[in-house]
């Protein structure tokens, strides 16, 4: 008689079943409907294949397409494998490498057959058609465990040099699993997978683009072709995603930045932004707003050097952890023989700062600090540099030169929870002022490689939990989540993820609880007991960087900013040349009231002027003709939409003054 095991189902019921029972067996025992719908199982919380034998007592939950997160993960994983099988069927001699799922789809990297060039987007329709054939064939997907030797031999025999290399390097003792698609194709994979290809919807995926990628991400290795796709559970989800992509393309900050004449980028300054007058108006308004908010919250603004001795970065720990991302320059003096510069001494190097925190500690250490001086809140709109790879640069979202809305709070341990709570409340108010009403809070916990003791990390992590709990935001409604291993090497951190107007999320603000850096750089204060104590250092930012946040603002608002941020708040446009003089009077009144104003006196139809200034995202247009000039009125039009309203000039000026007031000055 077979040995029995106990399987506990989500409703609390327990079933005694033979050892080796699978999720599929349990689904069939419950009913034919569930047997048909089940696509995987969770055994003791782990997502596994529906046909994986269960060898011991366990909790068991069956997964169906209604479990959307799990179902999407499985589907995208399967789409990647089907993509690889389709490419090899169409293009014999192609080698396969890796093919993971992504947040909205999947990709796979290929080494094209010798003599064939890289894959192009012209290849995608044929590959999609072949993928649909494989889905229609409803090929079973079966897991097998192989020995290392057998797997390396199989890949070598098939000419799969990349797979053979990877299989040979997998850790000893790790089960090497492959998945067969029917009888004629296999790939190395940990799984899990759907029971068969037919569980996928052939209308719910689309191949989107092709790019180059280096084998194992190393530029010294072979260049591969990467094919991207997006995959969903049904056609409705795919259509909604493609609509979001179309909307995202319309909102692309690079496109709108050019149309609105905000900034440009060029190869002579890779990763740095050339801000045009309109763009820098936006920057200055945002900076002025943040400065007012920080002043009101008790921060003191400082300015620190761009270049510091590398030895300072060694003491802080950044050089050992971060040097490959830092720009370092030799600290040189002229040579005695005039032949050229030489280093002042061995190892005399300077580095552009990638962050502001060590410099802020150096300011903190000037003079003796008492417990009565804390908390001390030090802010800096600090320009920093990081040596990001060329391939990682993206518009103004990811750059090499950037300005942080950075600040550090030096406080006592007993002040920490209150300070983090105050920061959370300030951040909430700022985001709402800038048009973001939804964001998630996540706690990034200790990474494997880190400074500091476990006791320190325990205390730091719990303090952040307590602070968020004090705000009432540690709930699912606020997206509260803990992220194991995602903290910085010196501190855990709270991350704030904004949701924009089309549902995308952006990780922006952070606050980190750090006791390591004050120790490494010997920061201290005199306590009430007369002894020296280490302050806790809170690293915090709300916007993150101005460059990236402005890019997010552009895309969130589709370039049509609230009036207080709009580079051009009003355009005075004439219908006839007889109104030119009055248009000058209107523009002068608006400028005197502090309204950023342009004037359009061109001999063009007013509808053309409205259309053109709508595209450049001016906030309002004030239209004047003969009648308006005679009566001292203007026709005020909100270019974001809405009816035109005729009103006296003084009333229009007062309205625009009020509408252009920053939100913090309205309260």
Confirm whether residue 539 is marked as ligand binding: yes
Question: Does residue 424 have an active-site annotation?
Answer: no
Question: Does residue 406 have an active-site annotation?
Answer: yes
Of 81, 193, 386, 609, the active-site residue reads 386
Dist. CA 235–CA 121, nearest whole Å:
22
Complete DSSP assignment for 565-597: T-S--EEEEESSGGGHHHHHHHHHHHHHTT--E
- CA distances 156 to 71, 162, 175, 308, 477, Å, are 34, 9, 19, 52, 52
Helices within 276-354 (DSSP H only): 277-296, 310-316, 318-322
**Cα-to-chain-centroid distance, residue 554:** 15
Q: Is 227 helix (H, G, I), strand (E, B) or coil?
A: strand
* Intra-chain end-to-end CA distance of the chain, in Å: 78
Of 163, 442, 520, 539, the active-site residue reads 539
Question: Does residue 512 have an active-site annotation?
Answer: no
In the chain, the largest separation of any two C-alpha atoms, in whole Å, equals 104
Q: What is the DSSP letter of 486?
A: -
Secondary structure of 97-158 in HEC code, one letter for each residue: CCCCECCCEEEEEEECCCCCCCCCHHHHHHHHHHHHHHHHCCCEEEEEEECHHHHHHHHHHC
Question: Does residue 493 have an active-site annotation?
Answer: yes
Of 78, 123, 406, 600, the active-site residue reads 406
Of 95, 312, 404, 569, the active-site residue reads 404
CB 592 within 8 A of CB 650: no
Which secondary structure element, helix H or strand E, spans residue 650, and what is its range? helix 649-659
Question: Does residue 241 have an active-site annotation?
Answer: no
Q: What is the DSSP letter of 447?
A: -
Confirm whether residue 408 is marked as ligand binding: yes
Q: What is the DSSP letter of 633?
A: E
Of 51, 226, 493, 617, the active-site residue reads 493
Question: Does residue 357 have an active-site annotation?
Answer: yes
Residue entry with tokens 């060694």: 314
Which secondary structure element, helix H or strand E, spans residue 190, and what is its range? none
Neighbouring residues of 631: CB distance < 8 A, sequence distance ≥ 6: none
- CA distances 299 to 282, 463, 501, 562, Å, are 23, 22, 31, 26
Q: What is the DSSP letter of 258?
A: H
Confirm whether residue 357 is marked as ligand binding: yes
CB 350 within 8 A of CB 308: yes
Question: Does residue 605 have an active-site annotation?
Answer: no
Active site (catalytic) residues:
357, 386, 404, 406, 408, 493, 539
Which residues fall in the annotated binding site?
A: 357, 408, 539
Which residue positions form the known binding site for Zn(2+)?
357, 408, 539
């Amino acid at each position: 008689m077979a040995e029995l095991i106990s399987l506990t189902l989500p409703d609390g019921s327990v079933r005694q079943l033979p050892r080796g029972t699978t999720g599929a067996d349990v689904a069939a025992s419950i009913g034919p409907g569930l047997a048909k719908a089940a696509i995987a199982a969770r055994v003791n919380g782990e997502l596994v294949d529906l046909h994986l034998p269960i060898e011991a007592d366990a909790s068991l939950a069956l997964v169906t397409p209604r479990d959307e997160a799990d179902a999407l993960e499985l589907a995208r994983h399967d789409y990647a494998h089907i993509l690889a099988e389709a490419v090899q069927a169409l293009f014999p001699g192609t080698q396969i490498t890796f093919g993971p799922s992504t947040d909205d789809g999947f990709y796979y990297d290929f080494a094209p057959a010798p003599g064939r060039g890289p894959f192009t987007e012209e290849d995608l329709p044929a590959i999609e058609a072949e993928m649909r054939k494989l889905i229609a064939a409803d090929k079973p997907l079966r897991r097998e465990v192989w020995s290392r030797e057998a797997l390396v031999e199989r890949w070598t025999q098939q000419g799969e040099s990349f797979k053979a290399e990877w299989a040979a390097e997998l850790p000893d003792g790790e089960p090497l699993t492959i998945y067969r698609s029917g009888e004629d194709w296999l790939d190395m994979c940990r799984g899990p997978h759907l029971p068969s290809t037919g569980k996928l919807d052939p209308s719910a995926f689309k191949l989107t683009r092709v790019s180059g990628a280096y084998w194992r991400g190393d530029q010294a290795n072979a260049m591969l072709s990467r094919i991207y796709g997006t995959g969903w559970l049904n056609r409705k989800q795919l259509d909604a995603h493609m609509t979001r992509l179309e909307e995202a393309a319309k909102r692309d900050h690079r496109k709108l930045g050019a149309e609105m004449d905000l900034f440009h980028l060029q190869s002579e300054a890779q990763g740095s932004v050339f801000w045009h007058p309109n763009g820098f108006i936006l920057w200055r308004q945002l900076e002025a707003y943040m400065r007012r908010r920080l002043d009101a919250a008790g921060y003191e603004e400082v300015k620190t050097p761009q270049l510091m001795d590398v030895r300072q970065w060694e003491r802080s720990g950044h050089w050992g952890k971060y040097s490959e991302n830092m720009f370092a320059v030799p600290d040189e003096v002229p040579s005695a023989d005039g032949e050229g510069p030489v280093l002042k001494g061995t190892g005399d190097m300077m580095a552009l700062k990638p962050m502001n925190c060590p410099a802020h500690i150096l300011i903190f250490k000037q003079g003796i600090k008492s417990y009565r001086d804390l908390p001390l809140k030090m802010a800096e709109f600090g320009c920093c540099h990081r040596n990001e790879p060329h391939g990682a640069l993206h518009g103004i979202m990811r750059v090499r030169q950037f300005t942080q809305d950075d600040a550090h709070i030096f406080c006592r341990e007993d002040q920490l929870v209150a300070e983090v709570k105050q920061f959370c409340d300030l951040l909430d108010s700022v985001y709402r002022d800038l048009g973001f009403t939804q964001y998630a809070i996540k706690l990034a916990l200790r990474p494997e490689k880190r400074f500091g003791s476990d006791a320190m990390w325990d205390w730091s992590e719990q303090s952040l939990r307590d602070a968020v709990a004090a705000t009432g935001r540690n709930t699912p409604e606020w997206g509260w989540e803990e992220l194991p291993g995602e903290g910085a090497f010196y501190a855990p951190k709270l991350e704030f993820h904004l949701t924009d107007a089309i549902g995308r999320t952006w990780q922006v603000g952070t606050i980190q609880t750090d006791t390591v850096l004050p120790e490494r750089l010997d920061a201290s204060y005199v306590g009430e007991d007369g002894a020296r104590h280490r302050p806790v250092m809170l690293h915090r930012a709300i916007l993150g960087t101005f460059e990236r946040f402005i890019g997010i603002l552009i895309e969130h608002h589709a370039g049509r900013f609230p009036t207080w941020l709009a580079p051009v708040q009003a355009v005075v446009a004439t219908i006839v040349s007889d109104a030119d003089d009055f248009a000058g009077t209107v523009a002068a009144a608006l400028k005197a009231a502090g309204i950023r104003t342009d004037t359009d006196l061109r001999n063009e139809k007013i509808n053309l002027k409205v259309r053109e200034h709508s595209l450049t995202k001016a906030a309002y247009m004030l239209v004047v003709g003969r009648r308006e000039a005679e009566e001292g009125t203007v026709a005020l039009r909100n270019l974001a939409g809405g009816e035109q309203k005729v009103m006296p000039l003084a009333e229009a000026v007062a309205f625009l003054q009020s509408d252009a007031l920053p939100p913090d000055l309205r309260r």
